[in-house]
Structure 1
Amino acid sequence: METTLNNYIDGFYQGDTLKLKAALKPRLYKFGYWKNKDTGEYEFYEQLTYENALKMAQNIKEKGRITTETKMRSVKVLEISNHIASAKVTGFWGLDYILLSKDEGKWMIEQVIWEGPFEEKFKEEQKSTTYYLIRHAEKDQSDKTNKDPHLTEEGKQRAENWTTTFGDVKFDMVYSTKYNRTKETAEPTAKANNIGITFYDPRNLKLEDFIKETKGKTVLVVGHSNTTPMLTNALLSEKKYNQIDESNNANLYIVTITDNARTSTLLKIE
């Protein structure tokens, strides 16, 4: 997904129509508001169609208006569902909120609403923290006396499947408890992101320190049927989710924290 979003920015920064075609759906619907510097009022700008977007990029290239600026440029994936997703992008023109959908397995941009010109606060708002919280995959329950079982073959497959689910997410940190079942669930995703696993004890986790250590990052946390919703609730500062049923290894909790809000989404990924 980040590739699609960066292709979108490059299309306008570099006048690259090929990158725009790789990012935009032909039924693109884009419109926005531009702040009049004289009146301070925001004025509506009519829809930019797919064809007009390509013409704009071509015009940028022909007139040599290619932009190399990077300080105003940023990409942030907000939420991902099975077939749709949302993102926030900043560029030299301002701020875009973007809706995407999958087309033959590839994320493509469907709709954009934007605001300009660029303001420094847009960048500051990008400093959000996103947590993906899951329970460990299916564990071996053949030996009831074993307090630290490994994953079953089904569980190992689910652990691998999480890497596909998270294919468009770039994790900065992966947390796991020290049990075999959680470590083995976390390992494929940690490996896919070329990072190690940070171990934590949910019983002794100091929430304020945890939030401070992970601020501005994208984090995967692997826990248990009781600790995963418990930590999700703690991050939200409200009791929103109940303990996970023992037969359910598919819940994915996504929590986003900004300076102004804490939001969450619960998905079930079979």
Structure 2
Amino acid sequence: MNRKLLLALLTFALLFTTSAFAQQTTIWLVRHAEKQTSEAMMSSDPELSETGKLRAIDLANVLKRYPINAIYSTNYKRTLATAAPLAAEVKVSPVIYDAKDLAGIASKTLQYNKGKQVLIVGHSNTLIPVIKALKAELPFNELTDDDYDMLFKVVVDDNGNAKLTIAHYGKPHHTTEVPPAFKGTF
């Protein structure tokens, strides 16, 4: 076999093998579902409302099609209850993360879940910082208290490049509009 042909075949095989092992990590992020707001039920750690419980089921119905390997949640009733239907569906127990260490949850998620799909359940004031820590470009800098139906998908490649896609799920309940370049369907 001539050397040029052998070199070309080896180069092709190396490129094919390298791309076959390239992995993408998919991080799904969602704000907890609607919480109870009546005065009798208000506390620093409220339960989900009936609407919120339905939204949590909607979330599970969307994400059960994906191989979710890990679920991360803050240690609040509303975030854990949002994750619960999916956790039961995929048989994964949520791991509690510290809402004060948002860069830490982003780096740990990438470190321990390379090539996998995970869900992070957070709050209106924690999701954007986590997405920024994952180095994804964002179309806005905050969520409002009325943004309950956004599902964020960040895909991170082996080089650390991140792409954000946003879709709505369940009953519409948002005020922040998603620019077309970031809209997706899941």
TM-score range (shorter-chain normalised) is 0.7 to 0.9
Matched, 1:133 2:33: no
Structure 1: distance between partners of 2:100 and 2:119? 18
Which residue matches 2:149? Answer: 250
User: Equivalent pairs: percent with the same residue?
Assistant: 32
Structure 1: distance between partners of 2:164 and 2:32? 20
Which residue matches 1:235? Answer: 134
Q: How has the CA–CA distance of structure 1 residues 145 and 195 changed in structure 2, closer, same or farther, with 3 Å as cutoff?
A: closer
Structure 1: distance between partners of 2:50 and 2:83? 15
Q: How has the CA–CA distance of structure 1 residues 254 and 239 changed in structure 2, closer, same or farther, with 3 Å as cutoff?
A: closer
Q: What does 1:41-190 correspond to in 2, within 5 Å? A: 119-125=16-22, 127-143=23-39, 145-190=42-87
Structure 1: distance between partners of 2:134 and 2:35? 27
Structure 2: distance between partners of 1:200 and 1:187? 15
1:215 to 114, 132, 140: 114
Unpaired segments ≥5 residues, structure 2? 171-186
Q: How has the CA–CA distance of structure 1 residues 237 and 169 changed in structure 2, closer, same or farther, with 3 Å as cutoff?
A: closer
Unpaired segments ≥5 residues, structure 1? 1-36, 41-115
Q: What does 1:190-209 correspond to in 2, within 5 Å? A: 190-205=87-102, 206=104, 207-209=106-108
Query: Number of aligned pairs?
Result: 160
1:264 to 149, 164, 174: 164
Q: Does the CA contact (< 8 Å) of 2:150 and 2:166 recur in 1?
A: yes
Shift of the alpha carbon at 1:208? 3.0
Shift of the alpha carbon at 1:202? 2.3
Shift of the alpha carbon at 1:122? 2.3
Give TM-score, length-normalised by structure 1: 0.54
Instruction: Report which structure shows greater RCO (CA 8 Å, sep ≥6).
Output: 2
Q: Deviations over 1:81-101 (max 9, x none)?
A: xxxxxxxxxxxxxxxxxxxxx
SS in 1 for 2:44: coil
Structure 2: distance between partners of 1:267 and 1:169? 15
Q: How has the CA–CA distance of structure 1 residues 239 and 118 changed in structure 2, closer, same or farther, with 3 Å as cutoff?
A: closer
Give TM-score, length-normalised by structure 2: 0.76
Structure 1: distance between partners of 2:141 and 2:20? 35
Structure 2: distance between partners of 1:204 and 1:123? 34
Kindly report structure 1 stretches of 4+ aligned residues shifted beyond 6 Å: none
Which residue matches 1:84? Answer: none
Supply the AA of the counterpart residue of 1:197. P
Which residue matches 1:59? Answer: none
Supply the AA of the counterpart residue of 1:131. I
Q: How has the CA–CA distance of structure 1 residues 174 and 121 changed in structure 2, closer, same or farther, with 3 Å as cutoff?
A: same
Shift of the alpha carbon at 1:167? 2.9
Structure 2: distance between partners of 1:158 and 1:237? 26
Structure 1: distance between partners of 2:169 and 2:65? 15
Structure 2: distance between partners of 1:211 and 1:39? 36
Q: How has the CA–CA distance of structure 1 residues 186 and 259 changed in structure 2, closer, same or farther, with 3 Å as cutoff?
A: same
